[in-house]
Structure 1
């Protein structure tokens, strides 16, 4: 009998940590090779982690809700069998296999790289880069791997993101002492060693004008709750958005009675959100500046040739924005089927954010009228739809009760002026108020 401890594996796509959501085994349980033993939440999704060892569980090293870094111990197993896993997690496996494994063609010899295996390049089903829950591309290993300068000198760098950061900042990872488990080099280690870190200084006048911020004293009864990996990723995107994007939000109240009546006349037909998606796609065709991303480095707006329509959904693991690929090629019925599929998957925790070119947000699902949403870089526009409720409305000079909704549109002011944004919003609003004519033109 021997004790084996397996650690949090390299989950790929630059992910360096994960929080334990749920243990699937307890101490004393018998486990087999490749049996899922825990569910962990990364900045991208919740995944099951399989054990490469068979035997009896003797210890669980991470509490539920706590975060582990790649290389940290997860589980200890007492076993009398050699490990032999055919699992599929990037950078994680054992020496022999008990089942079929994929065979890869040998690659040309290259300079030695970091000790941990590089993550596979991630891609979405439509050839777009995999993104964080809020729509930001996650670098793959192919674009982020950096090589060590001499054979046999193998610094402990697991994350492709860390390798890329070191390369961009001119930091030799061989000179860094990692602060992670077992000397693992983390992002903060690269940032601390970056020459740029010592050069960033506030102007003297500005520094003198800033008041000192006193630390907040601890108060009796306070508790601290660590953000989940998904929450940390979202927080970083929101902070970046507020720092970089001069966003503007405009509103329009819209009489949605004709659209509601159209939907009621075909109870088995597409849902209201499918019609709204179709009208949004039509508006993007007329105003392609919003189906784009902003390249801040080159000061250019990069237009997308097709519409990958993101849908903000409150899923089982928090807010995710899965995208309907090539939404501009689908009928209203086709959009309805995709929206229902993605919404169900998100609510079951099975969908993750993908690289949409524009986002449609249904605030009405939360029974609110509108919002001033935060754009997710590098996208330049997001359309929100509030709840549809009875309101007094003037029709033909007479006061009537109508089904009214509020549209809110946030856009990046760097790509266009307010007139263009207002024109876009009116295209959607006019289609809602006269859906039959809008559908006839599509």
Structure 2
């Protein structure tokens, strides 16, 4: 039976690698054309990768948690599959990716996946891991004594340990370092029985034949033990966990770091009386969100101050003023801060902006926002008031040149016609790239938006 190797496809948007979050299949599973086989995380979103081949999976290339480059082998599918899959393979949809974000699978497929996982746990089918991930045992894992040296065996050369995802999980949950075990399966594969033997040996102290894994030099082990004992060198505190900077978090870190390095930014802010805005919003049909109302004022302000809707081309020494607005909306998600953009925001009214902002926010939090939506903004609006804070000097979302922030709206004492009264006050802050404009332009834009918030009826009549 010959096999077809499916490589990690081009993920678009200049992405060159992805982290393998989890396998959705196991060796021996039958897979249909376009059926998802793995879930990967890119710098933009979480993606389910479908197989372009139908057949039986004979090999999984890579361990959960590993980073794979575009074009690297992902799975091997046998071409001598059952007839039901051969038909689909010949039809071939031609699809490479289902799309950014993990879509909800039909319940029947989830049940089949769970059944396959249970079967895999029973048979412990071996899987070759091209790049095994070393993951610390979760805090809930039981405290296990060290595995006796007699359980650990040497491996030939620098070949990494190999085991199925089920076996790796069993070892991780039990505090066993699977890469230090000698496999008894074909070609030295680590099997479920090997891990169970190591668990029993660690618990009872029983000894078996073996030596410490090759490649673990005494000096290296001594250094690792010393680091674990000494903890952080600067503070002397113990290190509780190590969190790799990967996927979306790494992309955010690179973008914000580049923003701080390249952009000479300045910040200006103003306290605004939003009482009239709240009153007007309550009279509008469908009661659009406050963010949508402010977004409409922002788009109008950018039409009057186009310097803030621009890019800086450092290579050519030019400032590019953009024709139209893709309004980015900063959204906090479980995976980190993302900024999906309302495409063509200058062509939308208040209701259209409200609908798009709600859709994009939900998509961002569900991880289904597309790469285009996450990387096409020309100006960002950040409502950090939802975090319970009043003000912030935000970081510009590179390569944009400005970001407007809005704090929470609170009743505060305010002077109106010489009298101190309670009004609903919000702080607006604008961070801008001083290369594209000076304080006069930035202040004029901020004042325009503030005046619209304070006199929304008059502003809407002019828009």
Q: Structure 2 length as normaliser, TM-score?
A: 0.63
Picking from 341, 344, 353, the partner of 2:362 is: 344
Q: Deviations over 1:280-335 (max 9, x none)?
A: 11111221111111222333321112122111122454322222222222221222
Report the CA distance between 1:432 and its aligned residue.
0.5
Higher gyration radius (CA): 2
Tell me the secondary structure at the aligned position of residue 351 of structure 1: coil
Q: Is 1:44 the equivalent of 2:65?
A: no
Task: Tell me the residue number matched to 2:302.
Answer: 284
Contact 2:54 2:85 (8 Å CA) reproduced: no
Q: Any gaps of 5 or more consecutive residues in structure 2?
A: 97-231
Task: Tell me the residue number matched to 1:332.
Answer: 350
- Counterpart CA distance in 1 for 2:32 and 2:365 is 31
Task: Tell me the residue number matched to 1:361.
Answer: 382
Report the CA distance between 1:354 and its aligned residue.
3.0
> Does the C-alpha gap of structure 1 residues 432 and 99 become closer, same or farther in structure 2, counting only changes over 3 Å?
same
> Does the C-alpha gap of structure 1 residues 427 and 83 become closer, same or farther in structure 2, counting only changes over 3 Å?
farther
Deviates more, 1:413-422 or 1:227-236: 227-236
> Does the C-alpha gap of structure 1 residues 424 and 314 become closer, same or farther in structure 2, counting only changes over 3 Å?
same
> Does the C-alpha gap of structure 1 residues 98 and 219 become closer, same or farther in structure 2, counting only changes over 3 Å?
farther
RMSD of aligned alpha carbons: 3.2
Report the CA distance between 1:435 and its aligned residue.
0.5
Picking from 243, 254, 257, the partner of 1:236 is: 254
Instruction: Please state which structure has a larger fraction of its residues in helix.
Output: 2
- Counterpart CA distance in 1 for 2:439 and 2:292 is 27
Q: Structure 1 length as normaliser, TM-score?
A: 0.66
Deviates more, 1:248-257 or 1:346-355: 346-355
> Does the C-alpha gap of structure 1 residues 85 and 440 become closer, same or farther in structure 2, counting only changes over 3 Å?
farther
Deviates more, 1:417-426 or 1:403-412: 417-426
- Counterpart CA distance in 2 for 1:441 and 1:304 is 23
Contact 1:34 1:85 (8 Å CA) reproduced: no
Q: Any gaps of 5 or more consecutive residues in structure 1?
A: 87-93, 103-118, 120-213
- Counterpart CA distance in 1 for 2:13 and 2:375 is 13
Contact 1:53 1:84 (8 Å CA) reproduced: no
Contact 2:325 2:343 (8 Å CA) reproduced: yes
Task: Tell me the residue number matched to 2:137.
Answer: none
Contact 2:33 2:93 (8 Å CA) reproduced: no
Q: Is 1:386 the equivalent of 2:407?
A: yes
Task: Tell me the residue number matched to 2:315.
Answer: 297
Tell me the secondary structure at the aligned position of residue 343 of structure 1: helix
Q: Deviations over 1:119-145 (max 9, x none)?
A: 9xxxxxxxxxxxxxxxxxxxxxxxxxx
- Counterpart CA distance in 2 for 1:84 and 1:317 is 39
Q: Is 1:264 the equivalent of 2:285?
A: no
Picking from 421, 439, 450, the partner of 1:429 is: 450
Report the CA distance between 1:388 and its aligned residue.
0.9
Report the CA distance between 1:82 and its aligned residue.
9.9
Report the CA distance between 1:396 and its aligned residue.
1.9
Deviates more, 1:280-289 or 1:405-414: 280-289
- Counterpart CA distance in 2 for 1:101 and 1:19 is 24
Q: Deviations over 1:317-362 (max 9, x none)?
A: 4322222222222221222122222222222211141322211111
Report the CA distance between 1:218 and its aligned residue.
9.2
